Structure 1
Amino acid sequence: MPCAEHGSPCVNSLYDWRMDTAANLVLVGPMGAGKSSIGKRLAQALSLEFVDADRVLEARTGASVADIFVCEGEAGFRRRESALLQELLAGQGQLIATGGGVVLSDANRALLSRDAFVVHLDVSVTEQLRRLARDRTRPLLQRDDREEVLHVMATDRAPLYAEVADLHLDTDGCTPDQACRMLLPCIQNAWRGVAA
């Protein structure tokens, strides 16, 4: 379905419409949903610092996310991810794009619910496969059964994203610019962050 036919994310809000005063805006969602590409545009439009959590981890460790998975396993990566999330949410004025698995931790979900205005960017498995067809950097997709893995992750993680989300947008068929235009008025109406 073309993006223009999507409902407004305001309609898909999980939020009770009181003004949220969280110091940071956080994007959650599955890989390929557009957290980085949409996040950069939203951050610019909202005068926020854009922070890609995975890129910060890579810069600090000198290793790619895939290499961290190989050396430390998924559990080691998740520990680093949780520590970084806690550190970032102690700051303010940031739009933080998280990794797709950040919601797997109970502690991370509690932090996100308490300390951030959270936008869930969603995407269908079909669209994920299209967007990630040439991507060989995702450690959880370094296998032949990518579609099955994505379906399992979608089933397991969807309720966790919903648990922390203040707004929800399905990005299927959306360009990053279209998604940004759809989200901006909703964020501006519901979030009174430091940039507001």
Structure 2
Amino acid sequence: MERIPPGQIVTERFPILTYGEEPEVAPGEWRFSLSGLVEVPLTLTYQDLLALPQVEVVRDFHCVTRWSRLDVAWKGVRVRDLLEKARPKPEAVAALVHSYGGYTTNLLLEDLLREDVLLAHTLFGKPLPPERGGPVRLLVPHLYAWKSAKWVRGITLLDHLELGFWERMGYHWRGDPWREERFQEGPIPAASLRFRSKKT
């Protein structure tokens, strides 16, 4: 199987791309909430996050601007583990991710449930720096990097697809690099997600 998605160029650099101003969030001030269509809403501090079971993953990182950085080492908490604690309701099929600074992005619940999707606080063995989204960012390595929201502060589960910042600007609603889902072409399956629910 090819390692590099179509249209991507491997770089040894690790470019930093940020729209707007960089939020200033100290670890002691960071809060994360898991809310919406869940049985048990969760709120975490940075220390709460560090006290949970930790995992380390090494994954390639693909940006929609066509660069790929290979073998990026992350450490954090599986979002799947948090979802197990929160217990999504049967009608939950999608999520809206919220960041400090007002950024949002949307994801399918099935994408959040993958084992390598993390709330990441460590990069290459060091605390995640602010310019990389620290103290905590979302990591969704199987999708384009704009889905891995920096400075993450919450995830809201929904029964429908609600587009985030770049998706409203014309980026693809899902962002699979292997399908080159860079920009949206055709209808967005907002209504059909309700039908999919737990039938897939």
TM-score (norm 1): 0.28
TM-score (norm 2): 0.28
Name whichever structure is richer in helix by fraction: 1
Of structures 1 and 2, the one scoring higher in RCO (CA 8 A, sep 6+) is 1
